[in-house]
Structure 1
């Protein structure tokens, strides 16, 4: 049995509904990776516990990055000021012909380091060579759900290989690493392949992580080619019934919300607001109507090829701001609502995994501290993160990784980045034409 005590911190309380709050002068007791108790700070800590002095720090549930493509950090800044179709067709999908397992692992290591150092304790990834992302996540100690990507254009062998990769990730039996199935999207994956994916998911108890209804163009095209919206297509192929983790869902018809509500117990939608703004996608995830229908919402960064960072503080801030602006309601997407979306399903409650981020709000950009919740949503920066624990393991201590050598990670990334983004042939892995 291992015992850790986080001593003398403030604690963010995130109830399922209502206002979040902060309790001062608390001790968080951790036993075998789980929060066993939260008590008022004692003068004398238990003698059998490893003590982490957190005086002056605020403990929050670790942030969850609900949708990303971690190896794309190697493309950071390499595809700028482009329309969505040119972003895909001139840059991203041609660059991805240069992917190798080694480059994917190197990129994922950099992204995992960036996420941990900014307070993210778990992420949902959707990319190629997902077994290499699993290696990186396991090494750095972050929690991850990994969905190996496939397109129909690469043939049934690639589809089945992606399923096998998900099985291999599951077979690692790492309690912090799980797997989902990863068809790319309804506009790049055929109805037959979506149906096959749903069958495998149901029979082998996988969830399915994919993009859906990102733009109105995609929804309109789906109606033309399939006589169904992307969400209706996912319904009739069994994807929603199997359990879906949907990225974006920005261009929804009213009937789509009704269909999603029928599967609300097995559906989650990840919103990534920065890329909607940057790529001028026209819509954002309709969070208010989806939540009113009981459909869970989470927040992600998407890949750094568009988002530029894996900074969830930026994503949660933009979620609050874009929602207030879109709804023309300054009371909507409150501080508490936003923090719940960014931390779910993590919570600082006895019996839950000890996935904990400790932040210092004493910097000038957070002071004076009239409201710590406001600082967490609108002021904080990744550099304010001091310590991070995943399953009770201290993976960031005093703003430094404990599980890997950051200079070595950066050196490797810089050594391979140019060879990944340099286009020497007209090849592309896919053509964007919804």
Structure 2
């Protein structure tokens, strides 16, 4: 792997606590896929073994981490609108997913990975079917991914064991950019017996678990009525929390859940996807303030584009700040630095990667943005621009694991026109509702 020098950029520094800052006129030296040094810019003659990237006028930020998504669902973008959450699942999405095939998942994953890379996302944490196809696409396009093959109890123990085997196969690829987790769908679609089995495999084979839980207050109330326990209490008594879990949404938490999450705060991360909660009128959003008081880290995701419409993490980041201020009725809460930390450092915890900050020793996942466009000017505060003004089109270069995968707003690892042509050629087959049945029924 050649040595890469990113020359003359500004650098976003994201400390573990406190305020973020921007250091001007810096050079970032990358060797063996890791950041070797960040030093003030000095003129130097190019060396034969040194690849250089002129970043004059650009701001380097830690590569964004999409902490929860279903990437192939880009193929259903815009096909399930203006619906309640139960009708969204039962009338549209789960019937559409009867049409999934490995090839269609691969085509959707290529489009999703292209969209994310061009928008500055360097890692995504995915939860979907045919995850081995997504793994191959991630390797092809050069994006970092943690993939959790999905299963429901309703499809039987063979489906559960096949999902576990898919995770093993992804791990066996031996690619440092692509890792695997176990992916039970949720406590309302996966039995306690299957959750216990998942926890056993996770602990014996050193997997983490990625699942949905307590998505809404209604789900929590229903769980208490049916099972005498909240979804989080079910995760506790089945060993999921002990195993280490990334929990998507957690909007329906109640007070008795917090001590359980706090007990396993060293191995638990919550992923919040606020646009989805607004669009499906799901009620309160993820209670980040209470979770942080329990020392439980929260990261930011987009969920799938079938509901979020984009895989734009900048948008999710912005909406996280806005919805948190509104929910807490506190304009000083969820500051610029707090918000940026969720999308970088906390995202690294969610994906279990040595990324999330631009510091020596970390993997070199770097997004270089241009804040000179009118919607970012005048630039009184670059942190404010990153949270409230920036657009995906402001992303100029993207580096993953020391490799330039987006150069001058263009993918270097794949042909975008070919990806779009392929996706548009098969998208209609995914949204076809003429096939009877559904992969599952939403009735928590």
TM-score category of the 2 structures, normalised to the smaller one: over 0.9
- Where 1:59 maps in the other structure, the secondary structure is strand
Where does structure 2 lack aligned partners over 5 or more consecutive residues?
349-355
Distance (Å, rounded) in 2 between the aligned partners of 1:26 and 1:387:
16
Does residue 92 of structure 1 match 2:93? Answer: yes
Which residue does 2:4 correspond to in 1? 4
Does residue 376 of structure 1 match 2:386? Answer: yes
**How far off its partner does 1:72 sit?**
0.1
**How far off its partner does 1:226 sit?**
1.0
**Cα RMSD between the aligned structures?**
0.7
Contact 2:284 2:327 in 1 (8 A): no
Residue of structure 1 aligned with 2:371, choices 323, 344, 361: 361
Which residue does 2:37 correspond to in 1? 37
Q: Deviations over 1:381-427 (max 9, x none)?
A: 00000000000000000000000000000011001100110111231
Which residue does 2:60 correspond to in 1? 59
Output the TM-score relative to the length of structure 1.
0.99
Which residue does 1:256 correspond to in 2? 257
Bigger CA drift: 199-208 or 43-52? 43-52
Which residue does 1:173 correspond to in 2? 174
Which residue does 1:205 correspond to in 2? 206
- Where 2:256 maps in the other structure, the secondary structure is helix
Distance (Å, rounded) in 1 between the aligned partners of 2:46 and 2:132:
41
Which residue does 2:353 correspond to in 1? none
**How far off its partner does 1:49 sit?**
1.5
Specify whether residues 3 and 185 from structure 1 end up closer, same or farther in structure 2 by C-alpha distance, changes over 3 A only: same
Q: Deviations over 1:61-106 (max 9, x none)?
A: 0000000000000000000000000000000000000000000000
Distance (Å, rounded) in 1 between the aligned partners of 2:443 and 2:325:
32
- Where 1:291 maps in the other structure, the secondary structure is helix
Does residue 238 of structure 1 match 2:248? Answer: no
Distance (Å, rounded) in 2 between the aligned partners of 1:405 and 1:78:
26
**How far off its partner does 1:56 sit?**
0.3
Which residue does 1:304 correspond to in 2? 305
Distance (Å, rounded) in 2 between the aligned partners of 1:205 and 1:318:
34
Distance (Å, rounded) in 1 between the aligned partners of 2:228 and 2:420:
48
Which residue does 2:328 correspond to in 1? 327
Specify whether residues 45 and 210 from structure 1 end up closer, same or farther in structure 2 by C-alpha distance, changes over 3 A only: farther
Specify whether residues 15 and 45 from structure 1 end up closer, same or farther in structure 2 by C-alpha distance, changes over 3 A only: farther
Which residue does 1:287 correspond to in 2? 288
Distance (Å, rounded) in 2 between the aligned partners of 1:429 and 1:22:
48
Does residue 411 of structure 1 match 2:432? Answer: no
Which residue does 2:351 correspond to in 1? none
Q: Alignment length, in residue pairs?
A: 434
Q: What stretches of structure 1 move > 4 A for 4+ residues in a row? A: none
**How far off its partner does 1:217 sit?**
1.2
Which residue does 2:79 correspond to in 1? 78
Distance (Å, rounded) in 1 between the aligned partners of 2:74 and 2:152:
21
Distance (Å, rounded) in 2 between the aligned partners of 1:213 and 1:130:
24
Which residue does 1:396 correspond to in 2? 406
Distance (Å, rounded) in 2 between the aligned partners of 1:275 and 1:428:
22
Which residue does 2:118 correspond to in 1? 117
Distance (Å, rounded) in 2 between the aligned partners of 1:177 and 1:331:
38
Does residue 163 of structure 1 match 2:164? Answer: yes
Distance (Å, rounded) in 1 between the aligned partners of 2:190 and 2:45:
56
1:141-152 alignment runs, 5 A limit? 141-152=142-153
Distance (Å, rounded) in 1 between the aligned partners of 2:102 and 2:284:
34
**How far off its partner does 1:135 sit?**
0.8
Does residue 221 of structure 1 match 2:222? Answer: yes
Contact 2:98 2:435 in 1 (8 A): no
Q: Deviations over 1:281-333 (max 9, x none)?
A: 01210000000110011000000000000000000000000001111111110
Which residue does 2:319 correspond to in 1? 318
- Where 1:326 maps in the other structure, the secondary structure is helix
Contact 2:302 2:312 in 1 (8 A): yes
Output the TM-score relative to the length of structure 2.
0.97
Bigger CA drift: 37-46 or 329-338? 37-46
Distance (Å, rounded) in 2 between the aligned partners of 1:422 and 1:8:
51
Q: Deviations over 1:326-354 (max 9, x none)?
A: 11111110000000101123110001000
Contact 2:251 2:284 in 1 (8 A): yes
**How far off its partner does 1:46 sit?**
5.1
1:8-19 alignment runs, 5 A limit? 8-19=8-19
Contact 2:114 2:141 in 1 (8 A): yes
Distance (Å, rounded) in 2 between the aligned partners of 1:257 and 1:278:
26
1:417-432 alignment runs, 5 A limit? 417-432=427-442
